[in-house]
Amino acid sequence: MKIDVFNHVFPIEFFDAAEPLMPGNAVERWKAIETIWDMDARMKMMDQFDDYCQIISMSQPPFDLIAGPEVSVELARVANDGMARICRKYPDRMPSFIASLPMNNTEGAEREIERVLDEHNAAGFQIHTNVSGIALDQPQFRDIFAKIAERGKAVWLHPTRPASHADYVNEEQSFYEIFWGIGWAYETTSAMLRMVCSGMMDEIPDLKVIAHHWGAYVPHAEGRFPLWEVRNATMGDGTSFADNLKKPMIDYMRDFWADTAMFGAKGASQAGLDFYGAGNSFFASDCPYDLVGGSELIASTIRVIEELDCSNDDRDQIFYKNSQSLLDL
């Protein structure tokens, strides 16, 4: 069995609601990826894989980049109800979904958490790494994360960074697709570090976060964390953020969960597994973002996991046991 916990769809009713709010032919560009919105096409693609199902989540962009605080609440409702409809239609292939929130409307987001859990029992909540450029550790978002933790659900942390986010301060935009090619991994890593260094994870100790792409750059920064804590104290007033944390920085980073969506990169996948361990790693493909509608991402991710230096029990944990436990499937 294989449970794919991080892949994306667009309910068709969301397109109807969002198209008047989006620039130019944005919706038409999304519709060019047939398997992201046509669930019959998605099912045909998924039929290539035995004992395989998906826990679906919305694709980009975040609602706060589409609409203001009042309208984003309605967009979230339309999207989440559409996701629930898809899961009801394909319960064997898509047994649950990850809800999305109007993060630019704190009260609306809290209401949507309650509604989508009470009405649809969503698996958890996808939250992007910033809200219109605002970091997730800022006070206005704490109640949202606290409520998710209180309801016993996890956060799926997804990167977002626009092309207008330049890579160098003397430029006005990112060139060569760098903003997502490596920028999204930077975004994920930064969001994780802000959650830790701000004390947010101590404040909300039951919060569970699945970081996309096997924790992004975190496994590759493992050796930096102990020095980071000490050096930070030498660059200011002699105190460090670490003075206010309950445990070493690296321990918090290992507490995150992570998914296997690495686009078929075996070396980076092994690094992710070595850092997080099988118990904190969840199978995910990032379907359908390849050139053939998703099947190559699924196949290459399965192939990499089957080739990793780990036990068969580790592979079972990654492929389905962790997700069964998390999602109560």
3-state secondary structure of 301: helix
For residue 31, give the nearest of 57, 9, 58 by alpha carbon. Answer: 9
Helices (H), 121-224: 142-150, 178-181, 183-197, 200-203, 212-215
As for how many domains the chain has, the answer is: 1
pLDDT of residue 98: 98
pTM: 0.94
pLDDT of residue 235: 63
**What are the backbone angles phi and psi of residue 3, rounded to the nearest 5°?**
-110, 110
Residue 274 bridge partners (DSSP): none
The CATH number covering residue 316 comes to: 3.20.20.140
pLDDT of residue 329: 76
pLDDT of residue 261: 97
Place of tokens 């399965």: 302
Which amino acid is it at 251? D
pLDDT of residue 99: 98
Task: Find the domain containing 280 and state its range.
Answer: 2-327
pLDDT of residue 187: 96
Helices (H), the chain: 12-18, 26-31, 34-37, 39-46, 69-89, 106-120, 142-150, 178-181, 183-197, 200-203, 212-215, 225-233, 249-255, 266-276, 295-307, 312-316, 322-327
CB 214 within 8 A of CB 188: no
pLDDT of residue 74: 95
pLDDT of residue 229: 84
Could you report the average pLDDT of every consecutive run of 10 residues in the chain (329 residues)?
96 90 79 93 96 96 92 96 97 97 97 98 97 96 98 97 94 96 95 96 97 96 90 73 92 97 96 97 96 95 97 98 90
CB 55 within 8 A of CB 5: yes
Cα–chain center distance at 195: 15
* Tally: H helices and E strands in the chain: 17, 10
Q: Is the dihedral of CA 198, 100, 124, 152 positive or negative?
A: positive
